[in-house]
Chain A
């Protein structure tokens, strides 16, 4: 029964990972940018939330109302300045710039907020749960986060496939010169895509801050790698793949923890490496188009 419990908890954790991963996937899909600062930006969102809560005294649960727009604006600005400048040069430059950004953000946070960990206090919500049978208890918080992740993915899917702006984003992703010729400023579209990606990162950062404590180093130590592992396990370029990948990663970690508490994270990486060996295109991937 504890195994079933592990799988259920894993699936719920997977929602959070998918939330982290979809921003990474979106930025790669549209701009071909692998944002190495992705995890640190989630941590930044966490710190922004802590700051906003301290100043405005709004409940932590509602902090996303302010944090998400702030991060979206940051995403647009960052894309239009640094990342766009790097994109114009080479893939190598983009990687170097985002890697540099990652190190600068992490050490900047360390400098200003120390290595102490913070968390978003949501009172009793963090431990409230309901029981299924005698063995399985499901906490509301991971369940809510999972539902939020599914809603975000559904929304993104709908936005990209059906809305006018979503079509624009797909057009620019397919062929930016052709989109430019038909009168679209692709830089602006890239900025919008980055803003959306950063908004999802903000949500993920806040959700993570509610589930557990965060400190400046966790962005690169865990978040970026989890998001990335979810993307690769699920299959590159597929939004629902990231949900599947996040879920698989979550289950692997929970089962690893079941075997030995200290093996939780390692188990996730082992599954990631196994997928890389057996099915490098990911679980939902069609072809090896990496």
Chain B
């Protein structure tokens, strides 16, 4: 990126050139993030445990959705089998807890184990492309579910309660689970942000825009994708671990339900696929919908599905794209802005606007007309 900047600088002649991560100073965003984490961490002291429970589910979905966004939005891998790792994460915690480990200690172990399992899974499913890749991940998830059901010690087909947490009072347990969920979410978002900011982020931008071209300039597309698949496996595993801790029991049919993947996908698409902010916004919309439609059975999922289809077809950049197009805000700046003549990049260049709409989130260096 630096050499590109220097090239631009030479072209610009004597004029001073500046490169920033964001269009506006982002110190306040970082500060805001720290304050937000602080407030969220203090929340269990302020609200009833029903609210805390709701936030646990918000965090679980947000971490899953961020992982799915990483897969589909950046690596171009539409996996509809991420429930494999949700279920495995839950069951790894169960196995460790049955052997006397504290479930909260087991959580990171389960996440890492899911990341490790993701590697052979990747090796299998990567033999197929796009659509067939998607169904292959689904088959793998189904196979894991059937495999787990074979073990009577894990509750077979009916599931098992999670031991090891009966000593804690319900209030404290909810608060602990909440903090664990908050920690998982913060780590998940931080990992996504740092991954995309770094070299891998450039590789993914290249893959997203043109896979063949990315290969031809020497990007290790396969290696980058396998790494992302492992990260997403670990993230979904952590979410599954949180799930079993918050519900204190696990059933194979619900832990390995494709509904998890449906929810993460819908949330990501509605919020804005291929942006870090998208899943956050989508999760908020999801829970707003769920709170209002929860009395109507399966309607919330039908509504979400229809909204997601419409957005995928007619507003590909989702809600965050809508906001970004108007305000040029990036809470998580991962690209670069080029400033020439110390003039701020022009707000409304017709050409730029069109380009932004065609190629989501590509942060084109704006030039003077």
Contacts and interface: CB of A to CB of B under 8 A. Distances in A.
Interface of B is mostly: helix
Contacts of B146: 263, 265-266, 269
A91 B302 CA distance: 23
B309 A34 contact: no
Interface string B248-281: 0000000000110010011001000000000000
B309 A104 contact: yes
Interface in A248-282: 262-263, 265-266, 269-270, 272-273, 276-277, 280
Contacts of B298: 107-108, 110-111
A231 B129 CA distance: 14
A280 B128 contact: yes
A229 B130 CA distance: 15
A85 interface: yes
B123 to A, nearest CB: 9
Contacts of A103: 259, 262, 266, 301-302, 305
Given A111-B302, A266-B143, A97 B131 contact: no
Contact of A100 (B125, B128, B266): B266
Interface stretch (B25-33, B72-80, B325-333, B335-343): B72-80
B302 A104 contact: yes
B258 A290 contact: no
A250 B142 CA distance: 17
Contact of B312 (A33, A36, A96, A107): A96
Given A100-B308, A104-B305, A107-B302, A225 B139 contact: yes
A39 to B, nearest CB: 10
A82 B135 contact: no
A196 interface: no
Nearest to A86: B313
Residue in B124, B127, B301, B309 with the greatest tally of chain A CB atoms within 10 Å: B309
A224 interface: yes
B309 A100 contact: yes
A82 B136 contact: no
* Size band of the interface chain B makes with A: 35 or more
Nearest to A88: B313
B168 to A, nearest CB: 35
Interface string A207-237: 0000000000000110011001101100010
A100 B132 contact: no
B42 interface: no
Contacts of A94: 131
B136 A92 contact: no
Contact of B124 (A86, A89, A277): A277
A290 B127 contact: yes
A161 interface: no
Contacts of B80: 36, 99
A125 B142 CA distance: 33
A108 B297 CA distance: 10
B312 A86 contact: yes
A15 B80 CA distance: 27
B134 interface: yes
Contacts of A180: none
B349 interface: no
A93 interface: yes
A92 B76 CA distance: 7
A136 interface: no
A28 interface: yes
B306 A36 contact: no
A101 interface: yes
B130 to A, nearest CB: 5
Nearest to A99: B80
B76 to A, nearest CB: 7
B352 to A, nearest CB: 22
A95 interface: yes
A94, A231, A266 interface centre (most CB from chain B within 10 Å): A266
Interface in B133-189: 134-136, 138-140, 142-143, 146-147, 149-150
Contacts of A92: 72, 76, 78, 130
B131 A91 contact: yes
Contacts of A232: 128, 132, 136
A108 B130 CA distance: 27
Contacts of B309: 82, 96-97, 100-101, 104
Given A100-B309, A269-B146, A225 B265 contact: no
Contact of B130 (A34, A104, A262): A34
Nearest to B266: A100
B305 A95 contact: no
Rank and list the top 4 A-B pairs by shortest CB-CB distance, nearest first. Answer: A34-B131, A107-B298, A104-B305, A266-B146
Given A36-B80, A96-B265, 4 more contacts: A33-B131, A89-B312, A103-B301, A220-B138
